[in-house]
Amino acid sequence: MDYQKIIDDLHLKYKSKTIKGEVASYIPELKKIDSNKFGINLYTLSDENFGAGDYQEKISIQSISKVFALTLALKHVGESIWKRMGVEPSGDPFNSLVQLEFEKGIPRNPFINSGALVICDILISKLKNPKIELLKFVRKLVNTKDIFFNEKIVASEKEYGYTNAAHVNLMKSFGNIENDIDVVLDFYYHLCSIEMTCEELSKSFLIFANDGILPHSKERIISLSISKRINATMQLCGLYDEAGHFAFKVGLPGKSGVGGGIVAVHPDLYCISVWSPKLNKKGNSAIGFKVLESFTTITESSIF
């Protein structure tokens, strides 16, 4: 299959399309992004790599990094993390407190904000220097030193992060946060502020396509079982309240962020990333969603 041509065609087709959507505006730093940015990257397990557009530009990966945090937590702490959160879809907008209160401070899954906050709390309790170890882990997946937090994003999130503070306080009131609230929020905002290119994103997710083994070094990072379970969790909970639609139309496990990135995994074959900052009503990249739908339709490569 001529992946380069398919990706070039998709880039050309959607570059000219006018698609409704708004750049994320809840923090000032994100609003500054040029809404016309658009990149696609495909990375295969046979180490081939196809890109189009702005795929080598750093983007704020935002919630996509929740997958890295979950992976680190499963690697270092294991299945006991599930005592503190579920793996069920939330069926609610991603910042809802209702469910969290109803379910006594136990987040429904690790990819909603409250779940990621608990993951942060777990990593803070377990790791000596969680911020450094997180960066080290992501850099290892990509085989680069060039991955950093964006401290401007961190500062902006902190200034406007009242909803997250509400979540973490509520969970603390239920006894599901061990560490100081400010420490948990600080780590969480750093987690959200990681910057990577589409190419790096695709490459970093290859372990989930490769049963837990890092392709370039053949090192096993996580077990086969953990790798499959993280894919399952992405499939069920990776796109906020649009996960069902994404499974239905794209048919791959994936994770999105409000920076406009989406990355999807085809087990045993490839990872694909798209970046386009305009978000649809559910908070996912509008063009990113359509590109991935077209890609799996053309290549007939849904997992279903």
Binding positions for its own copies, rule: CB under 8 A: 86-92, 96-99, 101-102, 108-109, 160, 162-163, 165-167, 169-170, 172-173, 181, 224-225, 227-229, 231-233, 235-237, 241-245, 247-249, 251, 253, 267, 297, 300, 302-304
Angle between helices 181-192 and 151-160 (to 10 degrees): 130
- CB-based contacts of 283, cutoff 8 Å, min separation 6: 24, 94, 240, 242, 256, 258
Pick the closer one to its own copies by CB: 37 or 249.
249
Shortest distance, position 172 Cβ to its own copies, whole Å: 4
| For its own copies, the closer CB: 85 or 134 | 85
Instruction: Name which of 210, 205, 214, 212 is nearest 264 in CA terms.
Output: 205
Contact yes or no for 275/54 (Cβ under 8 A):
yes
What is the smallest separation between the CB atom of 118 and its own copies, expressed in angstroms?
14
Q: Residue 109: left (phi > 0), alpha (psi -120 to 50), or beta?
A: beta
Quickly count: other Cβ atoms within 10 Å of residue 53's Cβ: 22
CB of 160 to its own copies, least distance (A): 8
Contact 259, 33 (CB under 8 A): yes
- Residue 49 or 302 having the CB closest to its own copies: 302
Nearest approach in angstroms of CB 295 to its own copies is 14
Nearer to its own copies, 15 or 91 (CB): 91
DSSP 225: H
Min CB(89)–its own copies separation in Å: 4
CB of 46 to its own copies, least distance (A): 20
> Which lies closer to its own copies via its Cβ, residue 46 or residue 304?
304
Which of residues 52 and 263 has its CB atom nearest to its own copies in the complex? 263
Instruction: Write the CB contacts of 225 (distance below 8 Å, at least 6 apart in sequence).
Output: none
Min dist. Cβ of residue 218 to its own copies (A): 19
Q: 35 or 301: whose CB is closer to its own copies?
A: 301
Contact 89, 108 (CB under 8 A): yes
- 233-236 contacts at long range (C-beta below 8 A, 24 or more positions apart): 233/70, 233/87, 233/109, 233/110, 233/111, 234/67, 234/111, 234/208, 234/265, 236/87, 236/88, 236/89, 236/109
